[in-house]
Amino acid sequence: MSGKFAVDLTGCVAIVTGGTRGLGRIVAATMAGAGCKVAVCGRNEPEDLPEGVSFHAADIRDPDQAKAFVDAVVEQHGRLDFLINNAGGSPPADAATASPRFFDSILKLNLHSAMYMAQAAYPTMKAAGTGSIVNVASVSAIRPSPGTAAYGAAKAGLLNLTQSLAQEWGPDNIRVNAIILGLMTTETAEATYGDAEAQAAVGRSIPLQRMGMGEDLAGAVLWLCSDMASWVSGSRMNVDGGGERPYFLDLVKGG
């Protein structure tokens, strides 16, 4: 996979949150395949991990645990080059009846954890005079997100956080970018989009005629971490296959 993307990260160290499964696991494996030492975290250790990927027990919704995780990685490897804030997600919930506890939990996972991790990574990156932080957001951040209002709000906050940190930390040569991820095929895609036939129909509605895959996210992450993106910071990179078709087009003549 590293050959496909032709990015060499040999000697570098990365943290990928949410990297034990799903899209994050593919990102972690791809970065490791490019020569990078990769650390992932979670509350429970997975049965297996890709080669070159190590596990640390941590709940990054807690700022103290986030800092301890980053400190452990830096102590083990002596550096931290990349932070990929990929952890996130949300079950559907009716906005009118969602509890304050639910709303808080979604913000902690999708927004607070990214801030805690970035704060923890900052001293090491500043001392090194270089670093790249990639925040994985969602199309829910830039359009209505009915049924997952808290998630959409959190991801919208993540986009603003990205640009604010890019401004504050740019003088330290720390680049901060966001990926606005479109409709993706994951292990939970059936619960979100329906069966294989329904997912294929969703794919056909996208200009590039398919839903996204983990490799699509991983390629964007690799590029943003590489020297090819050395003057890219504060950006919002759409990785969405061309975007969602406006619904009104199907309602008008010729749609």
* Residues tagged active-site: 151
DSSP letters spanning the chain = -HHHHT---TT-EEEETTTTSHHHHHHHHHHHHTT-EEEEEESS--S---TTEEEEE--TTSHHHHHHHHHHHHHHHS---EEEE---------TTT--HHHHHHHHIIIIIHHHHHHHHHHHHHHHHT-EEEEEEEEGGGTS--TT-HHHHHHHHHHHHHHHHHHHHHGGGTEEEEEEEE-SB--TTHHHHH-SHHHHHHHHHTSTTSS-B-HHHHHHHHHHHHSGGGTT--S-EEEESTT-PPPGGGGTSTT-
